[in-house]
Amino acid sequence: MEKKANIRAIFPRQMLVSLAAGAIVLASSLSGVSLSASAGTPEGAGASVSANATAKDVGLPMYPGAKPHKDKDEDSEALNMGAWGGSFGFKIVILDLESSDPPDKIAAFYVAALAKYGRVLNCANSSQKSAGKEDDSSKELTCDDDGKTDAGERVFKSGTKARQHIVSVKPNGSGSLFDLMFLEAHD
């Protein structure tokens, strides 16, 4: 399942997808790896990669009856990755899940859950995209940098550009596949 979000407005969507895909493969072989070093700054530097993540790590509740979903091409259904150094850092947490419930029911559950982080954007709805050029200095979350969604897919976001909570839901036979994502970046 392709990831439908970006870390920061300046990172192209394709870069995040490539980063996330590579990190999932890396996480499956290096689960639990954590690296850190003092880099001459009080904050130091480090990185962590793990194939272990929970809904709590994403900041959202687990949908009742949901099970981890493992794509045929991926070795892991979860990713928990971060890196930091000096004043820069990022964190990505992704869970791939499945349910026998229809997409509308799962979408309604997560729209309600996302509301605690602020306004919920429906990024599959073209009216949620701004008409003009995006203000890079704005902290407001937008759908402008999202790529094309699959047929029937719904993508919901809440939070700020620096702390995004994202849910992507799409039909899968009589049930659904969905991703829970948390993206954080600071510099």
Torsion of CA 110, 79, 23, 155, to 10 degrees: -10
How far is Cα 146 from Cα 61, in angstroms, rounded to an integer? 24
Question: What's the pLDDT score for residue 14?
Answer: 42
Is 54 in contact with 73 (CB distance < 8 Å)?
A: no
How far is Cα 89 from Cα 145, in angstroms, rounded to an integer? 21
Question: What's the pLDDT score for residue 168?
Answer: 94
Q: pLDDT: is 140 or 132 the higher one? A: 140
- CB-CB neighbours of 60 under 10 Å: 24
Model confidence pLDDT, tens digit, residues 153-183: 999 999 998 999 999 999 999 999 999 999 9
Question: What's the pLDDT score for residue 17?
Answer: 44
Q: In whole angstroms, how large is the CA radius of gyration of the chain?
A: 16
Model confidence pLDDT, tens digit, residues 57-68: 999 999 999 999
Q: How many Å from the N-terminal Cα to the C-terminal Cα in the chain?
A: 29
The pTM of the full predicted model, rounded to 2 decimals, is: 0.73
**Mean pLDDT within 110-137:** 75
